[in-house]
Amino acid sequence: MTNSYARENFAYGFDFTRLRSREERVARLDALATLLDTAFILPGTNVRFGFDALIGLVPGIGDAITTAISLYIVHEARQLGAPAHLILRMLANVAVDGFVGAVPLVGDAFDVLWRANRRNVRLLREWLAREDAYWRHG
Protein backbone atom coordinates (compact mmCIF):
# COMPACT_ATOMS: atom_id res chain seq x y z
CA MET A 1 0.00 0.00 0.00
CA THR A 2 1.37 3.40 -0.94
CA ASN A 3 1.20 6.45 1.20
CA SER A 4 -1.21 8.96 -0.37
CA TYR A 5 0.88 11.80 1.06
CA ALA A 6 3.87 10.76 -1.02
CA ARG A 7 2.23 11.74 -4.28
CA GLU A 8 3.63 14.66 -6.23
CA ASN A 9 0.40 16.62 -6.02
CA PHE A 10 0.34 16.60 -2.22
CA ALA A 11 0.63 20.38 -2.12
CA TYR A 12 -2.57 20.59 -4.20
CA GLY A 13 -2.24 24.00 -5.72
CA PHE A 14 0.61 25.23 -3.56
CA ASP A 15 3.96 25.43 -5.29
CA PHE A 16 6.36 26.19 -2.46
CA THR A 17 9.49 25.89 -4.59
CA ARG A 18 8.50 28.40 -7.27
CA LEU A 19 9.76 31.94 -6.85
CA ARG A 20 6.93 34.45 -6.68
CA SER A 21 6.85 37.51 -8.89
CA ARG A 22 6.87 40.93 -7.28
CA GLU A 23 3.22 41.42 -8.20
CA GLU A 24 2.22 38.12 -6.60
CA ARG A 25 4.14 38.95 -3.42
CA VAL A 26 2.51 42.38 -3.15
CA ALA A 27 -0.92 40.84 -3.81
CA ARG A 28 -0.33 38.36 -0.96
CA LEU A 29 0.70 41.22 1.35
CA ASP A 30 -2.39 43.16 0.31
CA ALA A 31 -4.61 40.16 1.08
CA LEU A 32 -2.93 39.73 4.47
CA ALA A 33 -3.37 43.42 5.29
CA THR A 34 -7.04 43.24 4.32
CA LEU A 35 -7.53 40.18 6.51
CA LEU A 36 -5.85 41.90 9.45
CA ASP A 37 -7.42 45.35 9.12
CA THR A 38 -10.60 45.48 7.04
CA ALA A 39 -11.98 41.97 6.45
CA PHE A 40 -15.25 42.45 8.32
CA ILE A 41 -17.95 45.12 8.61
CA LEU A 42 -19.63 45.90 11.90
CA PRO A 43 -23.33 45.20 11.21
CA GLY A 44 -25.45 48.30 10.89
CA THR A 45 -22.44 50.59 10.46
CA ASN A 46 -19.78 51.34 7.91
CA VAL A 47 -16.98 50.46 10.34
CA ARG A 48 -14.51 47.89 9.00
CA PHE A 49 -12.25 45.78 11.22
CA GLY A 50 -10.12 42.70 10.90
CA PHE A 51 -8.36 39.99 12.82
CA ASP A 52 -5.89 42.54 14.23
CA ALA A 53 -8.64 44.00 16.40
CA LEU A 54 -10.13 40.59 17.24
CA ILE A 55 -6.84 38.92 18.21
CA GLY A 56 -5.88 42.07 20.09
CA LEU A 57 -8.75 41.40 22.49
CA VAL A 58 -6.75 38.49 23.96
CA PRO A 59 -4.92 40.03 26.94
CA GLY A 60 -1.15 40.05 26.79
CA ILE A 61 -0.37 37.82 23.84
CA GLY A 62 -2.91 39.08 21.28
CA ASP A 63 -1.14 42.30 20.38
CA ALA A 64 2.24 40.53 20.33
CA ILE A 65 0.89 38.08 17.75
CA THR A 66 -0.56 40.76 15.50
CA THR A 67 2.61 42.86 15.81
CA ALA A 68 4.66 39.86 14.67
CA ILE A 69 2.39 39.40 11.66
CA SER A 70 2.67 43.11 10.87
CA LEU A 71 6.46 42.83 11.03
CA TYR A 72 6.24 40.09 8.38
CA ILE A 73 4.77 42.66 5.99
CA VAL A 74 7.70 44.98 6.73
CA HIS A 75 10.14 42.10 6.21
CA GLU A 76 8.62 41.32 2.82
CA ALA A 77 8.85 45.00 1.85
CA ARG A 78 12.56 44.90 2.70
CA GLN A 79 12.96 41.74 0.63
CA LEU A 80 11.32 43.58 -2.29
CA GLY A 81 14.03 46.24 -2.04
CA ALA A 82 12.22 49.01 -0.21
CA PRO A 83 14.64 51.75 0.93
CA ALA A 84 15.56 52.30 4.58
CA HIS A 85 13.42 55.44 4.99
CA LEU A 86 10.33 53.52 3.86
CA ILE A 87 11.12 50.59 6.15
CA LEU A 88 11.54 52.98 9.09
CA ARG A 89 8.19 54.59 8.35
CA MET A 90 6.55 51.16 8.15
CA LEU A 91 8.19 50.15 11.43
CA ALA A 92 6.88 53.34 13.04
CA ASN A 93 3.35 52.43 11.91
CA VAL A 94 3.73 48.96 13.44
CA ALA A 95 5.22 50.38 16.65
CA VAL A 96 2.35 52.84 17.12
CA ASP A 97 -0.13 50.05 16.43
CA GLY A 98 1.62 47.72 18.87
CA PHE A 99 2.07 50.17 21.74
CA VAL A 100 -1.31 51.86 21.60
CA GLY A 101 -3.01 48.57 20.74
CA ALA A 102 -1.69 47.07 23.98
CA VAL A 103 -3.90 49.41 26.04
CA PRO A 104 -7.04 47.47 26.99
CA LEU A 105 -10.20 48.42 25.04
CA VAL A 106 -8.91 51.83 23.92
CA GLY A 107 -6.14 50.07 22.03
CA ASP A 108 -8.61 47.76 20.30
CA ALA A 109 -10.66 50.73 19.12
CA PHE A 110 -7.42 52.34 17.95
CA ASP A 111 -6.55 49.18 15.96
CA VAL A 112 -9.82 49.50 14.08
CA LEU A 113 -9.07 53.11 13.12
CA TRP A 114 -5.26 53.08 12.62
CA ARG A 115 -4.99 50.14 10.19
CA ALA A 116 -1.20 49.96 10.19
CA ASN A 117 -1.08 47.04 7.77
CA ARG A 118 -3.22 48.78 5.14
CA ARG A 119 -1.03 51.89 5.56
CA ASN A 120 2.14 49.86 5.09
CA VAL A 121 0.92 48.06 1.98
CA ARG A 122 -0.20 51.40 0.54
CA LEU A 123 3.25 52.88 1.23
CA LEU A 124 4.90 49.87 -0.44
CA ARG A 125 2.61 50.07 -3.49
CA GLU A 126 3.25 53.81 -3.87
CA TRP A 127 7.01 53.30 -3.68
CA LEU A 128 6.89 50.46 -6.21
CA ALA A 129 4.82 52.61 -8.58
CA ARG A 130 7.38 55.43 -8.34
CA GLU A 131 10.22 52.97 -8.93
CA ASP A 132 8.48 51.50 -11.98
CA ALA A 133 7.88 54.96 -13.41
CA TYR A 134 11.50 55.93 -12.81
CA TRP A 135 12.88 52.87 -14.58
CA ARG A 136 10.40 53.14 -17.45
CA HIS A 137 11.06 56.83 -18.16
CA GLY A 138 14.39 57.54 -16.52
pLDDT tens readout for residues 62-110:
999 999 999 999 999 999 999 999 999 999 999 999 999 989 889 889 9
Q: Indicate whether 6 belongs to any domain.
A: no
Confidence of residue 8 (pLDDT cuts 50, 70, 90): low
Q: Indicate whether 57 belongs to any domain.
A: yes
Instruction: Name the residue among 112, 107, 117 with its Cα closest to residue 40.
Output: 112
For residue 41, is it left (φ>0), alpha (ψ between -120 and 50) or beta? beta
C-alpha span between 118 and 38 (Å, rounded): 8
Digit-coded pLDDT (tens) for 24-70: 999 999 999 999 999 999 999 999 999 999 999 998 799 999 999 99
Q: How many domains does the chain have?
A: 1
- ∠ CA 77-78-81, nearest 5°, is 95
Confirm whether pTM is higher than 0.85.
no
Domain residues for the domain of 55 are 21-137
Q: Indicate whether 7 belongs to any domain.
A: no
